[in-house]
Structure 1
Amino acid sequence: MKGLFAFLRARLGWLIALAVVALAVGGYGYYRRYQAEQARQQALASLRTEVIARGDIVSKVSATGSLLPEQQVNLFFLTPGVVAEVMVTSGDAVRPGQVLARLDDADLQLAVRQAEDALAIAELNRKKLLAGPSEADIAVAKANLHSANASAAAISQGIAQQEVDIAQLKYDSALDDYQKTANQYNSLVQFAKDNPRFAPSQAALDSLKSGMETAYYASEIARLQVQQLKNGADRGSLSVAYARIAQAKVVLDQIMAPPTELQIQQADLVVAKAQLALEQARLRASRAELAAPFDGVVAVVNAKAGEPTGAAPAFVLLDLSRFHLDVAVDEVDVAKLAVGQAASVTTDALSSIILSGKVDRIAPTATVVGGVVNYSVRLVLDLSDAPLRSGMSATAEIVVAEVKNVLLVPNWAIRRDRRTGQAYASLKAGEELKEVEIETGLRGEAYTEVTSGVKEGDIAAVSTAREQLNLLGGQ
């Protein structure tokens, strides 16, 4: 026994050393197992998982803009003048044809009446031309010829004082007629110079001038007759008398002859010009009133009674029955759009109200701003009772595609190989993660349609740790 104790004392150091080594090896193994378990627990805790199920996907294109009314027009007076009356104020609802304001139209109405008179004269002259001479015209022409013959005979036989007095009275009357006609013509010409906008038609002036010239020649003939009678039957007097006979014959022949085609065309032209002048005068007079072209609301009133019209619009009129939204869509998203696609619109001011609408038109050409290529797209909103206002900021979401009851895999669980384009889904298989090849369909904001490679009930999973670790602790 003493020998055994001696042996043990001699080997005690080695035994302690072996025990220490055994404890160290056991402790290290335990530590490694502990680390592996901790890693596995951390990996399990960092997993993001979701059960693959069926559902619907709606793909949308978003864009922003401002609400605009169906129509917005600036209304101007089409003729200058002074505003006489304004019938509406800002915010008033108006109907089509409702008069908004009126100009002072006294001068315009005067021009209409003058044009009506000129047309009446032109039509009477044409009617007289086509009707031919009246019995009175023929009788006067024959009487003038007879008078001319009588005068020539009297000159050749000597003139009585009574005939001289009668000729003097005729001359005085003819001269008075000429002076009245000349004064009327000169006054009308001066009025036309002072008021060019309301000047009578040229046809009316020409007609009055022709009458003045006829009166002048008549007065000259009467004056020469008086002079002839006073001078007695000299050769010059007889020449004048014979000339008067010739003139009277020409006048009688003209009266008895039917109108020529040229005379009829000239008369028609004068009537047509007078009609056109009257239409223009009436048009200018009608433009003294400014009316609403459609149902709407008066947004701006610039016209003021007593002030002349200016360059600014008299009124701004809005059609608030419907609204539209013009948005800019980039060249990638615009390829997904088509006329008629449904859209939902929300405004910043009425965020709780969702408005519906559709794509109305897509610009065929792009606009480039800052190197970004965009296309203008108009969305027309459906009728709504919402208290919308022009200019409200709005956001539109246009539905470009939709699928129902399909397998949905969250986008965060899908990876696509950049080189081959193959898509992979990350799934949880037991305590491991694995990637499987999949075929994808429509992609939404959060989910993608998968047509093959996964089944309903599979668990999509990815690790959210910085480094993905095998759940068993391997590399």
Structure 2
Amino acid sequence: MIFSPRRAVGATALITAVLVVSGCGGGSAPPPRTVPVARAAVETGVSAQGSVSATANNNIGFPKGGQLTEVNVDVGDQVRAGQVLAKIDDFNARQAVDQAEAALAGQQAAYQQALDNTAVDGAGNSVAQARRIVQATERQVDATLDADGEAIHQAERAVNQAKKGAAAAQAQYAADQQSCASQGGASAYGPPRMPFLPVPGQTQQQQQAGAAATNSCITLPGSQNQAAMAQQGVAQAEAQLSQARSKKQIDEASGRVQIEQARNGLVQTQNQLDASRADRPHQLDGAQAQVDNARVGVENAQRDLANTTLRAPVDGVVTAINGAVGEFLQPSSGTTPLAPGGEAAIPGAASANAGAAAASMGGGGASPGRPGGSQFLVLQNTSGFSVVAPFQEIDAAALVPGQAAHVTLDALPDVTLDGTVLAVSPASTDIANVINYYVTVAVARPDSRLKDGQTAQTSVITGEGPDAISVPNSAVIRQGDRTSVVVVEPGGRQVPTPFTPGLVGADRTEVRSGLTEGQQVLVAARR
């Protein structure tokens, strides 16, 4: 149930003061504020104190540090998305872009060189030349072997002719021997005979035979020599035939070696061609990868250059600027702790972190947190507001999105805002050793006087009883187990009147007995 000791004590103090003034009779006092005892539904719920938070909160700054050269807005300015807010010195960033572009040009040139590489064409030409060399070598070997075959054929013919000549010479020599011997001539080694003289009384045939025999004996040494020379000719022809055959064998072996060498050269050049063809796609891919990497470097450098100009990411109001022209800023690294259910920030988290940092640096507890924490600039979307409040775990267990809520503010005591539970954090937060859950309540119709960070009392309606006689909680006085109100009679007399309470809701308390409908009761003015 909702119960506000602060309000009860305030009501008691105010009513006591009114009674004292009335009793003393000093001066004219303003008329007391009263409300009637009326029949109304009593709503039950839970409450917690939180803070007003803008719809969205953006802590922004420069991704990389640098010297601040321009600040184009002031705190309180309304800005649009894309609007230039500030700038830092961009000299180094521009130099980095130039270097990255030069590196890209170098890699593009390397890629073009790889693309124009003639290794594959050269290897292909080498293969064609090696193939021609193989063919020429085969033709040369074939021609040599053909010549060797012809030489062997000629040598064989010479041998045959020499053998025929030797046979003829040997036959002539044998005939001369026989003819000479038949006439009683000397042997082949004897002295030559005298020339033939015809003998009287011989017939012409006898005379011719005798003459022939005499001539055979005379030519016998010559035919013998011819037979010997013919035999030598046969030996020489056979030697030449053997040489021709040996040469062919040698030329065949040498030709095979030459052909294999030529073929090996062809294989090597073909391997070089295959290797060049296989390597070329990978070389191009590698060169292209280097180009792509260099292009990414250019894009990163250009982005760093663009980030030297800070632009508003969204529409909003500038609520904090932490830096002046000429100062050096650190890279922005802070984040916004978001409340559950939206982009509203948990109020005070950034300031708390900044205050803790200041305390750790020797600032002590008296050091206030910088607006927006340590961020260079803070933008808030103030088109709407929410209330973010930590509820104790026993109360948070009864909350679900969509429940109605009432919001009151210390800074605006005359304002009560309607709201709706937007979200309940699924994770707990330890606050002063007490488990709490942050709850975001969306304010339906924000008051123009609302500001981020204002203290707000949030009452979430968890149930509603039937219509019954009830009084506002601001009229109820509780002292121990005694509950009463101050009834203002028609004549103005104020009478403390106890009553028996029933259901205590967010705004009203049920009256079970002790009061009647229509009675006027004194209520405490809001502070």
- Shorter-chain TM-score: which interval? 0.3 to 0.5
TM-score of the aligned structures, taking structure 1 as reference length: 0.47
TM-score of the aligned structures, taking structure 2 as reference length: 0.43
Higher Rg of the two aligned structures: 2
